[in-house]
Copies of this chain bind each other. A is one copy, B any other.
Amino acid sequence: MLSKKEVKDIQSLGHKKERDVQHRFVAEGPKIVGELAQEVPEKIEKIYALESWAAQHEHLKKWTHIVNEFELQRLSHSKTPNQVIAVLQQWPQAAPVLKAEFCLYLDAIQDPGNLGTILRIADWFGIKYVVCTIGCADVYNPKVVQASMSSIARVRVYYDDDLSWIKKQILPIYAATLDGDSTFSKPHTGILIIGNESKGVRDELLKLATQKITIARRGEAESLNAAVATGILLAQLLT
């Protein structure tokens, strides 16, 4: 039986303010919880799972608390809760020190689904660091965790509150814009800036760019979704 306090604490993790205070976050569903348990076992605090899931995950027993469907629904941030919810401790975010990596820099990506999808893309292309301006969604938002499909455990996210980190970087900086060059070299090292869903990359960051790049357009859509554009540009820059 879950205590009222326990339910309330977990529900409250839907709010950034509470996440910041508790320094915890939630992950939902068998795929993501399974992968997080493998990637960052030391961060798992507790797992709330249906008996059927728990029976198949004996090795996670020490964290697992069995709940019924009704309790799972109360804990969940999703309309259709899926077998298991984990509560994890957040990990420290250190400013990445770049040598010859390729790194993503996100300027106010507000939609949690976009941020999570971008982390998944970064992970696909072997990018280890994603740096966000303060206007970006919170990486521990349940929707970000969900959309990242557990890539959140492999890609390190750092918030560059005052742009001081980006201003110190010496790698080539590419900015994704609608009026950039659609042909560019494949540098395999550098920083790609992706701008806000409606406003694009802010002027202050555009000024830091070595090159503005874009995706060749053959049709009439005015723009592409920010995550889609990230995927296409990374494929072009890195493969």
Contact = CB atoms under 8 A, between A and B. Distances in A.
Q: How large is the interface on A (under 10, 10 to 19, 20 to 34, 35 or more residues)?
A: 35 or more
Given A232-B232, A235-B235, A221 B124 contact: yes
Contacts of A191: none
Interface string A179-196: 000100000000000000
Number of identical protomers: 2
A15 B215 CA distance: 36
A99 to B, nearest CB: 17
Interface stretch (A5-13, A90-98, A114-122, A156-164): A114-122
27 contacts: A120-B221, A120-B224, A121-B221, A121-B225, A121-B228, A123-B219, A123-B220, A124-B220, A125-B218, A125-B219, A149-B221, A149-B223, A151-B220, A151-B221, A154-B221, A215-B239, A216-B235, A218-B238, A224-B231, A227-B228, A228-B228, A228-B230, A228-B231, A231-B231, A232-B232, A232-B235, A235-B236
